[in-house]
Amino acid sequence: MNKLFKLSIPVVLILGLMLTTACAAPGKMLTTPTEPTAPAMPAPVPRPPSASVDFVEEGGGYPSEVPGESTIERKIIKTGYITLEVEDVVEAMDEVAGVAGELDGYVVSSNKYEHERGISGSVAIRVPAESFEEAFERLRLLAINVPQENTQATDVTEEYVDLEARLRNLEATEAQYLALLEKATKVEEMLQVQQALSNVRGQIEQIEGRMKYLERTSDMSLIEVTLSQTKGLLAEPSWSASDAVKSAVRGLTTFGRGLATALIWIGIFCWVWIPPLVIWLRRRRRARG
């Protein structure tokens, strides 16, 4: 009996060791580390409802609005001066006006001068700024010779932007004064606010007028054209007997008019010079006697 008990103890120990190993194997498999997974993408930030810029899908986000990056249209005032020598000044003036009309422009002023040596004239036109160079090319074709030509360009963009900023500030000030005027209860307060409001309104109108002028002059360029006859037409005319007679008659007529004018002056002022003359003659006679 004791011998059987001693033999069974090792068998039980072996079976218990085997069961322990079998139970520990599944636990070790559960604790085996696995491959790391990619982190979850963060939820997109919702777009603010007050944003006015559209969502850009290609960039994967929202564009940032940086002040001052917007494109500013430049304001450039172009002015040109050109002198044309033509055969017929009157006809050339009509042709210059026609060039302005064909380019969607207009005539600002037109003057014609007649003198002994011929006729000269001047025409000022305005044409769209994009047609400035084309207008010069067409005007050159009207002339036999172009002795003088000049162009100028003035950039007024900075002034225009400054006027825009001042206008916005004045409009905001005007809105504040209007709000104060509605809240004013005393007559004195209302008069003070109205006076300040009138001053601001005057500045706003002045700035708006200047801005309109800059817009108009930058959109429509000014070209001043001076027209003169060619050198051949400006030469001295040949001598003619009939012209000499006419010139002499004109000179005699002018001399007669001058003499008549002098006699009239002497007759009107006779009361001034006759008394002193009579006194002088009497004294002279007495001296002789």
Cβ atoms within 10 Å of 193's Cβ, excluding its own: 19
Band the pLDDT of 29: cuts 50, 70, 90.
very low
What average pLDDT does the segment 251-264 reach?
Answer: 84
Sign of CA dihedral 96, 101, 107, 110: positive
Q: How far apart are the first and last CA of the chain?
A: 213
Domain 76-153 in CATH 1.10.1740? The answer is no
DSSP summary character for residue 144: S
The Cα–Cα gap between 126 and 101 comes to 10
Whether 27 has a pLDDT exceeding 70, the answer reads no
Q: Which two tokens stand for residue 48?
A: 């603010």
Does the pTM surpass 0.85? The reply is no
In a 13 Å sphere around the CA of 280, the CA atoms on its Cβ side amount to 5
Band the pLDDT of 14: cuts 50, 70, 90.
low
How do residues 165-190 score in pLDDT, each as one tens digit? 999 999 999 999 898 888 888 888 88
* Between 235 and 115, the higher pLDDT residue: 115
How do residues 63-116 score in pLDDT, each as one tens digit? 333 344 346 788 899 999 999 999 889 899 999 999 999 999 999 999 988 877
Runs of H (alpha helix) within the chain:
2-30, 89-102, 132-141, 157-183, 187-219, 241-268, 270-288
Whether 55 has a pLDDT exceeding 60, the answer reads no
Q: Give the CA diameter of the chain.
A: 213
What average pLDDT does the segment 224-229 reach?
Answer: 91
The set of long-range contacts for 212-216, using a CB threshold of 8 Å and a minimum separation of 24, is: 214/75, 214/77, 214/156, 214/159, 214/160, 214/163, 215/75, 215/160
How do residues 101-158 score in pLDDT, each as one tens digit? 999 999 999 998 887 777 889 999 999 999 999 999 999 999 999 999 999 999 999 9
What average pLDDT does the segment 209-228 reach?
Answer: 92
